[in-house]
Amino acid sequence: METDTTTPPAGAPLTEDGVRDDDARGAGGGEDGLWEELVTSALLGTDRRAPARLAGLPGAELPGALLDLAALHTVRRRAGLRPGPAAPPPEPAPEDHRRPLPGAARRRLDQLLAGRAAPSPAGRRGAAPDLAELLPQWLALANERGYQAPAAALPSLLDAARARTDLRPQALQLAGPRGLWLARLNPEWRFALRGAGAGGSLPDPRDQDGVRALWEEGLFAERVALLGAVRTEDPAAGLALLAATWSAERAEDRLMFLDSLRTGLSGADEEFLEEALGDRSRNVRATAAELLSALPASALAGRMAGRAVTCVGLDRTAESPTITVEAPHECDSAMQRDGLAATPPAGRGERSWWLGQLVEAAPLSCWPPRFGGRAPEEIVALPVADDWQAELHAAWCRAAVRQRDAAWSRALLGSPATPPATGPGTSSLAERAQLLSTLPPEERARWVGSFIAAHGLSEAFQLLGVCEVPWAEPLGGAVIDALDIAREAGSYPWSFSGVMGLAERCLAPEAAQQLESLTARPEEAEDVSPGAGGYWSEAFQRLVSTLRLREAMRAELTTPAR
Amino acid sequence: MGVRWTAEQVLALAPDDASRSAGSKLGTAGPWSGRGSGGGAVWGLCKGSGRVPYRTVVDTTGPAYWCECPSRKFPCKHALGLLLLQASDGTESGESAAPDWAGRWLAARRERAGSAARETGGGAGGPADPEAARRRAERRAARITSGAEELEQRLADLLRGGLAAAEQRGYGPWEETAARMVDAQAPGLAGRVRELGAIPGSGPGWPVRLLEECALTHLLDRAWLTADRLPAPLATTVRTRVGLPAPVGDVPVRDHWLVLAQYDAADARLTTRRIWLHGTASGRTALLLSFGAAGRAPRLALPVGAVLDGELTPHAGSGRLRAEPGEQFVPVEGPVAPPPGGPVGAALDAYGRALREDPWLDSWPVTLSEVVPARAEYGWQLADADGREALPLTPAAQSRPGLWRLVALSGGAPVTVFGECGHRGFTPLTAWSPETPGETVPLI
Distance from CA of A465 to the nearest CA of B (A): 26
| Local confidence band at A116 (pLDDT 50, 70, 90 cut-offs) | low
- Mean predicted confidence (pLDDT) in A138-158: 92
Question: Sign of the C-alpha dihedral, residues A443, A445, A448, A454?
Answer: negative
Residues of A in contact with B24 (CB under 8 A): 111, 114-115, 131
Task: Name the residue among A52, A54, A5 with its Cα closest to residue A26.
Answer: A5
Contact A75 B407 (CB under 8 A): no
Residue B117's pLDDT is: 53
With a CB cutoff of 8 Å and minimum separation 6, the contacts of B80 are B10, B11, B13, B14, B19, B20, B22, B23, B24, B26, B27
B364 close to B425: Cβ distance less than 8 angstroms = no
Phi/psi region, residue A391 (left: phi>0; alpha: psi -120 to 50; beta: rest), is alpha
A45, A86, A151 member nearest B165 (Cβ): A45
- A133–chain B nearest CA distance, Å: 13
Q: What is the pLDDT of residues A304-327, one digit of tens each?
A: 888 888 888 888 777 788 888 888
CB B155 within 8 A of CB B214: yes
What's residue A26's pLDDT?
Answer: 39
CA B331/CA B275 separation, integer angstroms:
16
How far is A65 from A75, CA to CA, in rounded Å?
Answer: 16
- pLDDT value of residue B1: 36
Q: A91 vs chain B: nearest CA distance in angstroms? A: 6
B122 min Cα distance to partner chain A (Å): 41
Is B436's CB within 8 Å of A100's CB?
Answer: yes
Q: Is the dihedral of CA A492, A495, A496, A500 positive or negative?
A: positive
Residues of chain B with pLDDT under 50: 1-2, 91, 120-125
pLDDT at A199: 46
User: Mutate which of B21, B378, B435, B443 to test chain A, going by most A C-beta atoms within 10 A?
Assistant: B21
Of B408, B412, B422, the CB nearest to A155: B408
Largest CA distance in chain A: 129
The per-residue pLDDT for B404 is 96
Q: Which residues is B364 bridged to in the sheet?
A: B421
Contact B28, B47 (CB under 8 A): no
Give the whole-angstrom CA distance, residue A439 versus residue A268.
Answer: 26
Pinpoint the alpha helices (H) of A414-510.
429-436, 441-455, 461-465, 475-488, 497-506
pLDDT at A25 over 70: no
Which pairing describes strands B379-384 and B415-422: parallel, antiparallel, or unpaired? unpaired
For residue B416, the cross-strand partners are B432
In this complex, the residue of A63, A104, A118 whose CB is nearest that of residue B21 is A118
Judge whether B162 is closer than 8 Å to chain A, CB to CB: yes
Q: Name B365's Cβ contacts closer than 8 Å, sequence gap at least 6.
A: B260, B276, B285, B287, B321, B418, B419, B420, B421
User: Taking the CB of residue B35, how many other CB atoms lie within 10 A of it?
Assistant: 18
pLDDT on residue B441: 93
Instruction: Enumerate the residues of chain A whose CB falls inside 8 A of the CB of residue B216.
Output: 71, 74-75
Inter-chain CB proximity B211 and A114 less than 8 Å: no
CA distance B364 to B348: 9
Among chain A residues, CA nearest to B350: A79
Listed ranges A176-180, A433-437, B93-97; the one with the highest mean pLDDT = A176-180
User: Do the beta carbons of residue B383 and residue A88 sit within 8 Å?
Assistant: no
Of chain A, the percentage scoring pLDDT greater than 70 comes to 86
The alpha carbon of residue A152 is apart from the nearest alpha carbon of chain B, in Å, by 5
**Domain-by-domain residue ranges, chain B?**
7-117, 132-242, 253-331, 344-442
C-alpha B81/C-alpha B20 separation (Å) is 9
B175–A contact, CB cutoff 8 A: no
Q: What is the pLDDT of residues A367-397, one digit of tens each?
A: 888 888 888 888 888 888 888 888 888 888 8
Tell me the average pLDDT of chain A: 80
- Asked if B383 and A6 come within 8 Å (Cβ–Cβ), the reply is no
Selected residues 67-96 of chain B with any CB under 8 Å from a CB in chain A? 88
Spatial contact of A150 and A96, defined as CB atoms under 8 Å apart: no
Q: Residue B337 contacts by C-beta under 8 Å, 6 or more apart in sequence? A: B280
Give the residue from A171, A155, A153 showing the smallest Cα distance to A105.
A153
Measuring CA to CA, how many Å separate B293 from each of B232, B244, B269, B271?
32, 19, 6, 6
pLDDT of A436 > 80? The answer is: yes
What pLDDT shows up at residue A45? 92
The pLDDT score that the predictor gives to residue B307 is 92
pLDDT of residue B46: 86
pTM: predicted TM-score of the whole model, two decimal places? 0.75
Report helix angle B187-198 to B172-183, nearest 10: 170
Is residue A113 within 8 Å of residue A157, measured between CB atoms?
A: yes
Instruction: Give the residue-averaged pLDDT of A107-131.
Output: 68
Check B392 against A14: CB less than 8 A apart.
yes
pLDDT band at residue A81 under the 50/70/90 scheme: very high
| pLDDT tens for each residue of A443-478 | 888 888 888 888 888 778 888 888 888 887 788 888
A217 compared with B140, residue with greater pLDDT: B140
State which H helix or E strand residue A122 sits in.
none
Report the C-alpha gap between A75 and A82 in whole angstroms.
14
Does B401 sit within 8 Å of A118, measured CB to CB? no
Question: Which of B47, B212, B404 is nearest residue A186 as measured by Cβ atoms?
Answer: B404
**Residues of B (373-412) whose Cβ lies below 8 Å from A:** 373-378, 381, 383-384, 387-392, 401, 404-405, 407-409, 411-412
Task: Check residues A241 and B192 and name the one with the higher pLDDT.
Answer: B192
Nearest C-alpha in B relative to A41: B162
Size of interface A-B (CB pairs under 8 A): 258
How far apart, in whole angstroms, are the C-alpha atoms of residue B297 and residue B225? Answer: 36
The residue in chain A having the minimum alpha-carbon distance to the alpha carbon of residue B205 is A9
Q: Using only C-alpha atoms, what is the Rg of chain A?
A: 35
Which residues are within 8 A (CB) of A403 and not within 5 positions of it... i.e. 6 or more apart? A293, A294, A296, A363, A364
Shortest CA distance to A115 belongs to which of A98, A88, A134? A134
A151–B26: do the CB atoms touch at under 8 Å?
A: no
Chain CA centroid to CA A158, Å: 15
What's the confidence (pLDDT) of residue A70? 95
Instruction: Give ipTM to 2 decimals.
Output: 0.80
Query: If you classify domain B253-331 with CATH, what class do you get?
Result: mainly beta
Concatenating the DSSP letter of every residue in B298-328 gives PS----TT-EEEEEEEEBSSSS--BEEEEEE
pLDDT of the residue at A22: 39
pLDDT digits (tens, 9 = 90+) for A256-310: 888 888 888 888 888 888 888 888 888 888 888 888 888 888 888 888 888 888 8
Q: What value does the mean pLDDT take over residues A20-42?
A: 67
A23 has pLDDT over 50: no
- Would you state the pLDDT for residue B389? 94
- Chain B's closest residue to A36, CA to CA, is B208
Q: At residue A200, does pLDDT exceed 60?
A: no
Q: Does B173 touch chain A (CB under 8 A)?
A: no
